Amino acid sequence: MEHTITPVAVYRGDFPDKFGIPRQAGIVPALEGLVVFEPAFRDAAALRGLEGFGRVWLIWQFSENLRGGFQPTVRPPRLGGNRRLGVFATRSPFRPNALGLSCVELKGLEERPGLGTVLRVRGADLMDGTPIFDVKPYLPYADAWPDARAGFAPDAGEALRVEIAPELEERLPPEKRDALRAVLARDPRPRYQDDPGRVYAMRFAGCELRFTADENTLRVTEILPAQAGGERNEP
């Protein structure tokens, strides 16, 4: 039986491309974004009571990874792309229904001209423009199981040291600098790439930055205004 679902909202954030987005929600809590509801669902009554919750679940679509057919195994980046596991044993974006699930911090509900009530959230792992199918409150007593086994991904891994020259960092809006450093510290490079001489390009918050990285340190070499349709690195 087939069932059609309709996006109720869209995510607005600082990543126009997939490259650089944190691999999981919550590992870069400084990232801020908005959940903007579609006109048909732009009714404040639908959000009544949500202000009492500190976190929400977002159910969304991997809109840049839509593929036809069922692929039973995938190569998780966490394992360097060298080992195949069952798709249902991973969080790979290449899924039968291309659905994602993220728990984000709810910073508040705000009225925006022309947009109605929007949700201001932190810690999302979504690209700008991501369709959102549902929003549900997070319940700590039911949704948190910190002692559960975590299989091949027990933690977020080691963070890199980030080096950005002050004159480069000043090219970023002040309110975006901590978030950028946290994103870079989580090593946005594809897991299977480990070339310290390679220069990577990433677009973030209206800027394009270039960087190199080794196993311990990520160094930003340039920050420029982003060019639409510029160079991209695919994870």
Supply the pLDDT for residue 51: 97
Supply the pLDDT for residue 157: 84
Determine how β-strand 73-74 pairs with β-strand 55-61: unpaired
Q: Which two tokens stand for residue 2?
A: 């087939």
Q: What is the pLDDT along the chain (235 residues), one digit of tens a residue?
A: 788 999 999 999 999 999 999 999 999 999 999 999 999 999 999 999 999 999 999 999 998 877 767 889 998 877 877 789 999 999 988 888 999 999 999 999 999 999 999 999 999 999 999 999 999 999 999 999 999 999 988 888 889 999 999 999 999 999 999 999 999 999 999 877 778 899 999 999 999 999 999 989 999 999 999 875 544 443 3
**Distances from the Cα of 159 to the Cαs of 34, 48, 82, 185, 192, in angstroms?**
27, 39, 22, 5, 17
Domains by residue range for the chain, with CATH: 9-143 (2.40.30.70), 161-225 (3.30.2310.20)
d(CA 61, CA 3) in angstroms, rounded, equals: 15
pTM here is 0.91
**Distances from the Cα of 182 to the Cαs of 21, 54, 95, 156, 198, in angstroms?**
11, 22, 28, 13, 21
